[in-house]
Each structure stands twice: as structure tokens, then as C-alpha cells.
Amino acid sequence: MDKIFQDFQNEFNKEFELKQKIRTQIKQITQINRKIEHVLIDIHDEFGDFSNIFEKILNLIPKFKEQLEKVILLIPEDQYHKFDSGLKFEIINIIYALSLITFFKSGDLIPIQQIEEMILNKEKLGCKSELIIEKQDYLNGISKLSSQLSRYCVNCARNEKYEMIENICNFLGKINLGLELLKSKNEGLKKKHEFIKRDLKKIEKLIYDIEKTNQIKKILSNQKK
């Protein structure tokens, strides 16, 4: 009987040591994501040319990719979901950052396959790479994108960048329609979809308020003539 419990203890010790190694390596990824988030803050103060901001972020992606690879290679092939809790948060953050860049560059939603190409070395990771970016993580990243774009619209309104607000509204409207088609029973996904719908309603109300304000200004201007 002692041997049974001793074997358990040995397994627990090995698992604890591995978790510590993984946590230490994930901290390297966290530091890179913090740098990316710090750079992205500048977007809320800029209106137009984001090329310098995007260049800084894209220069950090190879470092992210390198550190992510080190973490993944530490995790046993059949135990990814046992050790991925801390890693998922970092994956969602990078999905958000890359989706934000793609929107401002092209007005499109970045495909999950493109994200995989940018942050995963599939040749080296083999079948492990298929586990890293799950659809739920991707949609969580898009939900964070929605929240930040909603906030950006408020700044656009203050600076009279109305066309950008319209573009963001149309973009999130398409995402909302896409999520409506999924008809998912996943509670987590439903919750994220509700967040996106809430952001979309905020932007639609903002557009309504802007149009109403502009109409009032036009009326007042005509009265002065």
C-alpha cells in the first residue's frame, strides 16, 4: 500500500515541477504582451496613421512566437489542456492585438489561420499546434476587440472622426450577424456575443446622438442667417 501512495507522490512532485517551469516560461510571454498592450494604448490618442504603432507591435511578434514555442514544447503531448490555463489568457491577448491591427489596416476580421501562421511554428510543433488556438479563444479575442473599438469610437466622436465610427459600426454589425448564425448553446460564447451586441448598441446610440446633435447645429445655424 505504501508503494501506491509513494508512486502518487512522485507523480504529484513531477507535475508540480513541470507546472513551475511552464509558469516561469509563460511569464516571458506575459512581459511581451504587456509591451504590446502599452503600445496599443497610443491608438486612442491617434487618428489616421498607425504605421509606427503597428510596426512596434509586429516587431514583437517573433519574440512572442519564440517564447510560445518554448512553453508548448514543455507540455506533454497528451496533456495540453491540463497546463494551458495561464497560456490561454496570453493567446487571447495576442489574438486581440492582431485582430485590431488587421481591422485598422484593411477593415477586415483576421482569420484564425492567419493568426496561427504568425505565432506558431507548425513544422516544429507538429500536432501540438492544432491545440493552441481554439475557436473559443479566437472569439474571446474578438470580444476584447469589440470592447476596445467601442471605446475608440467615443474618442473618434470627440475628434469628429465620424466616418471611422460608421466603419466600426458596420464591422461589428457583420461580426454580430456571423455570431447569430452560429446558434451556439455554449454559455461562454453566448456571454461574449452579448458583450459584442452591447458594444454595437453603444456605437449605434453614439451615431444617433451625433446625427441628432448635427441636426440641431444645422437648425441653429439656419436661424442665425
Among candidates 114, 146, 151, 116, which has minimal Cα distance to 130?
116
* Last residue within a domain, chosen from 127, 154, 184: 127
Distance CA 203, CA 195 (A): 13
> Is 150 in the same domain as 117?
no
Query: At residue 172, does pLDDT exceed 80?
Result: yes
CATH number for 88: 1.20.58.190
Query: At residue 2, does pLDDT exceed 90?
Result: no
Distance CA 218, CA 99 (A): 38
* Last residue within a domain, chosen from 104, 127, 150: 127
CA angle 21, 27, 33 (to 5 degrees): 145
Cβ neighbours for 131, distance < 8 A, ≥ 6 positions apart = 80, 81, 84
Cell numbers representing residue 53 in the block: 504603432
* Last residue within a domain, chosen from 127, 146, 177: 127
> Is 36 in the same domain as 114?
yes
Could you tell me the end-to-end alpha-carbon distance of the chain, in angstroms, rounded to an integer? 98
> Is 122 in the same domain as 11?
yes
Distance CA 8, CA 42 (A): 51
Query: At residue 140, does pLDDT exceed 80?
Result: yes
Summary mean pLDDT of the chain: 85
| pLDDT (tens digit per residue) in 17-30 | 888 888 999 999 99
> Is 84 in the same domain as 104?
yes
What is the reported pLDDT for 92? 94
CATH number for 197: 1.20.58.200
Residues in the chain: 225
CB 129 within 8 A of CB 138: no
Distance CA 32, CA 64 (A): 6
What is the reported pLDDT for 30? 95
**In terms of residue numbers, what domain contains 222?**
134-225
Among candidates 181, 177, 180, 156, which has minimal Cα distance to 168?
156
> Is 24 in the same domain as 77?
yes
CB 116 within 8 A of CB 133: yes
| pLDDT (tens digit per residue) in 18-65 | 888 889 999 999 999 999 999 988 887 766 678 889 999 999 999 999
Query: At residue 149, does pLDDT exceed 60?
Result: yes
Among candidates 119, 107, 123, which has minimal Cα distance to 33?
119
- What is the number of domains present in the chain? 2
